[in-house]
């Protein structure tokens, strides 16, 4: 397993394909990191599907409203259109590039609309640089991310089984 240097700023995401370890960047995107940790600690991401997975680009998940299997509002047809009941986040754009394994927040056209959804880059995506809030980097398990079922929408999608802050695991 990857060496976890800062358990309070590391998340362990168990997926239907295996385990992924993500180092968080609180200095880069403190508001986004706080939200990821808050939702992880609430169990909000547990059961959430990867609703939009584009080969050679990214895997998107995190719709805790419409994308949570077993949730009261679960609706595969609407997965990707919801978020949490928490307020949207102010953009925290940085010069950190979107490269393989980058974790970044999804949003609408409004820069300040990120809420709970996020994506993991399969490959470098420089056109996203300085336009999306980077909050973490996969330090173990990119081979797992590579195996997630592809599609827009995904038929019988993979999901997050559990997502926990390493300090709590």
- Which pLDDT belongs to residue 147? 98
Rounded Cα–Cα distance for residues 161 and 156 (Å): 15
* CB distance 50 to 59 below 8 Å: yes
Phi-psi region of 139 (alpha: psi -120 to 50; beta: other; left: phi over 0): alpha
Q: How far apart are the first and last CA of the chain?
A: 14
Q: How far apart are CA 160 and CA 169, in angstroms?
A: 16
Give the whole-angstrom CA distance, residue 68 versus residue 44. 8
| Domains of the chain and CATH, by start | 10-168 (2.40.100.10)
pLDDT (tens digit, 9 = 90+) per residue, 112-123? 999 999 999 999
Kindly report, residue by residue over 30-83, the tens digit of the pLDDT. Answer: 999 999 999 999 999 999 999 999 999 999 999 999 999 998 999 999 999 999
* Contact predicate 122/58, CB 8 Å: yes
Q: Is the pLDDT of residue 2 over 80?
A: no
Residue 1: pLDDT band with limits 50, 70, 90? low
CA separation for the pair 11, 37 (Å, rounded): 8
Enter the DSSP assignment of 8.
Answer: G
Q: Write the pLDDT tens digit of every residue in 120-158.
A: 999 999 999 999 999 999 999 999 999 999 999 899 999
* Strand bridging mode 102-105 / 118-121: antiparallel
| Residue 11 confidence class, pLDDT cut points 50, 70, 90 | very high
Q: Which structure tokens are listed for 160?
A: 């997050």
């Amino acid at each position: 397993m990857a060496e976890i240097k800062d358990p309070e700023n590391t998340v362990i995401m168990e997926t239907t394909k295996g385990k992924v370890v993500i180092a968080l960047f609180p200095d880069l995107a403190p508001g986004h990191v706080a939200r990821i940790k808050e939702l992880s600690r609430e169990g909000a991401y547990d059961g959430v599907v990867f609703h939009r997975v584009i080969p050679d680009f990214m895997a998107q998940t995190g719709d805790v409203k419409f994308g949570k299997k077993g949730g009261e509002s679960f609706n595969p047809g609407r997965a990707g259109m919801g978020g949490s009941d928490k307020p949207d986040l102010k953009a925290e754009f940085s010069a950190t590039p979107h490269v393989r394994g980058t974790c970044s927040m999804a949003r609408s056209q409004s820069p300040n609309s990120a809420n709970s959804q996020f994506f993991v880059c399969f490959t470098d995506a420089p056109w996203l640089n300085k336009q999306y809030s980077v909050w973490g980097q996969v330090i173990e398990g990119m081979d797992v991310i590579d195996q997630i079922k592809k599609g827009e929408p995904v038929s019988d999608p993979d999901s997050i089984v559990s997502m926990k802050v390493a300090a709590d695991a």
